[in-house]
Amino acid sequence: MSSRRPVVTGLGIITAAGCGVSAMWDALRTGRSGLGPLTLFSSPRYGRHQVGQVRENVDQLAGDVRGSRSDKLAWIAAREALRQAGLAAPLNSPRAERTGVLLGSTVAGMLGTEEVVGRLLRGQPRRFTPLRYHECASATDLCARLMGARGPTATFSTACSAGALAIATAAGLIENDELDVALAGGADSLSRLTLNGFGSLLLLDPDGCLPFDAARAGISLGEGAAMLVLEAEETARARGARILARLSGWGASCDASHPTAPDPQGGGATAAMQQALERGGLSPGDIGFVIAHGTGTPDNDVMEARALRRVFGGAAPPFASVKRFFGHTLAASGAIQAVAAVQALREQAAPANLGFENMDAEIGMEPAREFQSRPLEQVLSNSFGFGGNNVVLVFARADSPAAAVARGVRERPVGDPLYGKDGTYGTADVRRRSQGIPLAVTGAGLVCAGGHTVAGVRSALAAGGVTPSWLECAAPFALGRMRGYSCGDFGAEEAIPAARRRRLGRLQQMALVAAKRCLPQGLPAGLSPERVCAAIGTGLGCLGETAAFVENMLNNGERAPLAGRFANSVHNACASQLAIEFNLRGLNSTSAHREISFEAALWHCASQLRQGRADFAMAGAADELSPYTQAAGTRWGWWDENAPAIRPFGSELTGHRRPLPGEGAAVFALARADQASAPLARLQSVHFGRFAARADGRPEAQKEAAWIAESLERDGVPLASVDLLLSGSNGWPRWDDAYGEVASALSVLRGEELSLGAYKQAGGEHYSASAFGFFVALGLVGGQIEPALCLAGNPSAAAAARPPRTVLLYTLAPGGSRALCCVCA
């Protein structure tokens, strides 16, 4: 019996229907909608719309927590979930290292950012503070810090399925034995951007959504947060925690058809549901109830009904959308549905589809009309996002037997050593067996100030880096000229046909060009699209498109919103364009977690390949320069405006103590080593998490060294075999020193000096810079880049004599994150 199976031990929720699980359940039981007037902010155009606004005083409930409204909602839900799970914050070692936070976020701190932009546009005195909480990672880092969690921690931003993806990802980390406990869920506040954005798509129903009804006319936006404490069954049992339910299956797919609209045939939704059933060893007849995505848009509900028929045939289980209770809460939505599903299993009752009166002939199905007691063993929950990012979760009653075992042998994924003879995942020692499934990197594509080819990057490194260009820090800041590592004209005109390019923002074009350089011949022949996954990291998403939409909205009093810009403003706009370009229908993930966004994306792909869920993967990252990053970074002292260039480890020589901003995209192709022809290198290891901080905020070097050694050891890489530590050093003494200390600690640990290198001199500092570092690492182990070129300006390093066979890419983020990837020749 597998003991790594993920179980739920805590629930927390805050929505328009109230704060806390009991308030939520009370609303579902009594059929009370949380929709009401918008009072959070004024909206000239949509002010009279019904919305799912949280009515409690969020600031008061959150206590003395600083952050955006989304951050506070997240912490309120997290606190409730942790309390129920009996996990007192802050956690102590060793539990802290085995506890992670995985959240979905889409709106994040946009509500505060809108206020900052509004003041700028009106010429009022500048306020930058809300921008500190702008990023998707803000809520995740807040929860992790308050909990004291140091295990794998990341944020996913696949629009409306992000919360569900975060839960599925947490489950994968638990199964893989990388985590024992995870706080997983999603949070999003209302904002003018989303209200105007969905308005621009003509997808809002002013009077409140009517999911699956013949008269449905669009969504109602909502806000809220929901959190699960997910835990390995063995850990939960060992500490005597009460098990509320099990997560029995999950599936993820991509429509690969349109940036915002669902595939009308529901192909992606069908695939995700089938995958979730298969993963749980379930047949359609096992599902007792479906919590539908059911947004209330004409298209979604028809598509979803079609998909339900495709999965369940004529015998679809009763189903309901809960969107009229809470509104569509975007990244929180999947997590809110998960809490509702778990509660339904506990109460053995299921909600009604509030707002439904008349059946639509095109839908041809009737959702549950009444809240009703039902015998429930398994409840399935659907989440479908922009970009066709579909995620399906299945929860099982706590004491229901593991379905796969109950059914006996089922077909196991082809050649997968992680599956036991009875078809269940991880029945034996996963830790032992997950080692040594080497992956191959079979392609690499780059858009970077330092060049677009490995030869170009080599020249840039040989010259000691590239010279940043002078860039205008444009409106609404108008700070004049600043230096930055711009990719300039990166070849989009040649690479992307005009008809396609005109619809894409700059960041999407960068990612697409990098992807095409990675796979100049397209995907290898013979792949099934359903078994190709993609994951793209982006710390800040499509800033240019987002800024254009928000500035237009605020300048014009919400008149004439720009629909195309809104479609491009979501973080997953890059990954979904890749899916459309290459027809990638497997898991499609977007991670948005500051400097480790790339590593989280790479992990997602690696884990899909290792678990036999995909045969091929594209992983990468992209971030763009913007007046906002230039201005905010300048204000906060991230950039040294007077520095002529980035000189890693060079602050004493140059006198400049800060880096300069940059941008870039890199995309890599991955496959299992035994299935790859002509690999560039092996990807042996990828891990991420949070470091143990000293009082001054820097990592404790010995603990970092121990974590690195342990992680590598686990993946079959002896520390002694590492030839070079390629660091994110950028000339900021505090972090350069931290890298130096970790390298020294590793040298002591293995009894041999470890060379320390850097790469940001050739691409600039940005959230996707480590993807460029990965490109450099491939050049190093491939023999195209001499290691000495990366050691420039590092006075303590002894130049490596031989071409490195094993390179460790190591990233520290000021926000507390750390990540490593290891590539071998």
Partner 1 sequence: MQSLTDELKGKIIKALNLDKITPADIKDDEPLFGAGLGLDSLDALDLVSMLERDYGILIQDMEAARQAFASYRTLEEFVQRNRV
Piece of 437-445, 562-570, 657-665, 809-817 that binds partner 1 (CB under 8 A):
562-570
385 in contact with partner 1 (CB under 8 A): no
CB of 441 to partner 1, least distance (A): 35
Rounded-to-integer distance, Cα 206 and Cα 228, Å? 32
Question: 160, 448, 473, 821: which is the annotated catalytic residue?
Answer: 160
362 in contact with partner 1 (CB under 8 A): no
Q: Which two tokens stand for residue 673?
A: 């080593």
Helices 333-347 and 21-30: angle between axes, nearest 10 degrees? 80
Please identify, using beta-carbon distances, which residue of 210 and 448 lies nearer to partner 1. 210
Question: 49, 134, 328, 604: which is the annotated catalytic residue?
Answer: 328
Residue whose pair of structure tokens reads 């590592």 in the numeric block: 485
Per DSSP bridges, beta strands 724-727 and 806-812 are parallel
612 in contact with partner 1 (CB under 8 A): no
Piece of 288-296, 361-369, 558-566, 690-698 that binds partner 1 (CB under 8 A):
558-566
Binding to partner 1 in span 208-267, by CB under 8 A: 258-261
CB of 559 to partner 1, least distance (A): 6
Rounded-to-integer distance, Cα 402 and Cα 4, Å? 12
Residue whose pair of structure tokens reads 């027809």 in the numeric block: 583
CB of 258 to partner 1, least distance (A): 8
Query: Is 328 a residue of the active site?
Result: yes
Please identify, using beta-carbon distances, which residue of 421 and 502 lies nearer to partner 1. 502
Asked whether 126 and 120 are in contact (CB, 8 A), the reply is yes
Binding to partner 1 in span 486-505, by CB under 8 A: 498-499, 501-503
CB of 389 to partner 1, least distance (A): 17
Please identify, using beta-carbon distances, which residue of 3 and 552 lies nearer to partner 1. 552
Please identify, using beta-carbon distances, which residue of 505 and 541 lies nearer to partner 1. 505
Asked whether 53 and 38 are in contact (CB, 8 A), the reply is yes
Q: Which two tokens stand for residue 457?
A: 């990057």
Query: Is 160 a residue of the active site?
Result: yes
Quick one: which of 556, 557, 710, 783 contacts partner 1 (CB under 8 A)?
556
Quick one: which of 406, 409, 428, 560 contacts partner 1 (CB under 8 A)?
560
Rounded-to-integer distance, Cα 645 and Cα 654, Å? 10
Exposed/middle/buried for residue 367 (C-beta within 10 Å: 0-12, 13-18, 19+) = buried
Binding to partner 1 in span 258-317, by CB under 8 A: 258-261
Size of the site for partner 1 (CB under 8 A): 20
Q: Render the burial of 95-114: b for 16+ CB within 10 Å, e for the rest.
A: bbbbbbbbbbbbbbbbbbbb
Piece of 14-22, 535-543, 552-560, 729-737 that binds partner 1 (CB under 8 A):
552-560
Q: How would you write 428-465 as a 3-class SS string?
A: CCHHHHHCCCCEEEEEEEEEECCCCCHHHHHHHHHCCC
User: Rounded to an integer, what is the distance from CA 241 to the centroid of its chain?
Assistant: 28
Asked whether 350 and 321 are in contact (CB, 8 A), the reply is no
Please identify, using beta-carbon distances, which residue of 319 and 386 lies nearer to partner 1. 386
Asked whether 338 and 115 are in contact (CB, 8 A), the reply is no
Please identify, using beta-carbon distances, which residue of 122 and 559 lies nearer to partner 1. 559
Residues in contact with partner 1, shown as a per-residue x/- string from 173 to 212 under the rule CB under 8 A? ---------------------------xxx----------
Exposed/middle/buried for residue 31 (C-beta within 10 Å: 0-12, 13-18, 19+) = middle
Query: Is 766 a residue of the active site?
Result: no
CB of 17 to partner 1, least distance (A): 28
Q: What sections of 257-332 are H helices per DSSP?
A: 267-279, 298-312, 323-326
Question: 134, 293, 452, 766: which is the annotated catalytic residue?
Answer: 293
Q: Which two tokens stand for residue 588?
A: 């499609």
What distance, in Å, lies between the first and last C-alpha atoms of the chain?
A: 38
88 in contact with partner 1 (CB under 8 A): no
CB of 505 to partner 1, least distance (A): 11
- Longest pairwise C-alpha distance within the chain: 76
Quick one: which of 562, 645, 671, 717 contacts partner 1 (CB under 8 A)?
562
Please identify, using beta-carbon distances, which residue of 183 and 210 lies nearer to partner 1. 210
Please identify, using beta-carbon distances, which residue of 283 and 556 lies nearer to partner 1. 556
Rounded-to-integer distance, Cα 595 and Cα 374, Å? 46
Residues near partner 1, by CB under 8 A: 200-202, 258-261, 498-499, 501-503, 556, 559-564, 567
Residues recognised as catalytic: 160, 293, 328
